Amino acid sequence: MKILHIDASASNAETSHTRRLSNELVERLKADHADATLVYRDLVADQLPHVDMTIRHAWLPENADDPALVETRGRSKTLVEELKAADVVVIGAPMYNFTVPSTLKAWIDHVSIAGQTFSYTAEGPRGLLTGKAYLVISSGGIYSQGPFAANDHLATYLEAILRFLGISDIDTIRAEGIAYGPEQDQAAMARASGQIGALSAAA
């Protein structure tokens, strides 16, 4: 089993909820699958540039020998190959301003490449990826239900883009409402850990 583990929290390993939980999940997967191999991407420590048209140009066959596009093509290809090779993708994603951190959005822009991870057909777009994704998300407020549910552009967006790319088997683990106080923070983390344990046991 090939695991691609991605973290996008600007907080460090000690303070970040998503880093702690995504790590816990990956450790459980490794414990459950003796053959597991891991590729790890910290999108904050190693930030990707914002998308520009060189990424599109770099993938065009007629530009294959363009020396100006070597670096962009190499980076984008590495990211796409990592994702294509993964059986399981684990994404740790805090909510920033109702959606994904821009570091994670940059990764999505680098890997969502027509002809590589999705294609357009006469019937519409078709995802070219397979496999499973675990989303480990955290937010100060509560968005899974209640009055702010309509503001969730994090889980809904990540699930939508992964499905668009062909990954439809998605489990989403939430630690939410962590800004409501230390007790709510602890309870949310315990619930999320419990969810990870249950997922792992069922895998």
Ligand X SMILES: Cc1cc2nc3c(=O)[nH]c(=O)nc-3n(C[C@H](O)[C@H](O)[C@H](O)COP(=O)(O)O)c2cc1C
Q: For residue 35, what are its two tokens?
A: 């053959």
Chosen residue from 9, 23, 103, 116 binding ligand X by CB under 6 A: 9
Residue nearest to ligand X (CB): 94
Contact letters for ligand X, residues 38-77 (x by CB under 6 A): ----------------------------------------
Q: According to CB under 6 A, which residues from 138 to 197 bind ligand X?
A: 138-141, 178
> Contact region for ligand X (CB under 6 A) — 10-18, 46-54, 105-113, 114-122?
10-18
Pairing mode of beta strands 124-127, 2-7: unpaired
By CB under 6 A, is residue 29 in contact with ligand X? no
C-beta separation of 171 from 131 below 8 A: no
With tokens 């883009």, the residue in question is 161
> How many chain residues are in contact with ligand X, going by CB under 6 A?
16
> Contact region for ligand X (CB under 6 A) — 8-16, 25-33, 39-47, 125-133?
8-16
> Contact region for ligand X (CB under 6 A) — 26-34, 36-44, 121-129, 135-143?
135-143
> Contact region for ligand X (CB under 6 A) — 13-21, 37-45, 110-118, 121-129?
13-21
- The phi, psi pair for 148, rounded to 5°, reads -100, 10
Distance CA 99, CA 90 (A): 17
148: exposed, middle or buried (C-beta count within 10 Å: 0-12, 13-18, 19+)?
Answer: middle
Pairing mode of beta strands 169-176, 132-139: parallel
Q: For residue 90, what are its two tokens?
A: 């684990």
Q: According to CB under 6 A, which residues from 78 to 97 bind ligand X?
A: 94-97
By CB under 6 A, is residue 17 in contact with ligand X? yes
Residue 17 or 73 having the CB closest to ligand X: 17
C-beta separation of 8 from 104 below 8 A: yes
- The three-state secondary structure class of 42 is strand
By CB under 6 A, is residue 11 in contact with ligand X? yes
C-beta separation of 117 from 84 below 8 A: yes
- What are the residues binding ligand X (CB under 6 A)? 9, 11, 16-19, 94-98, 138-141, 178
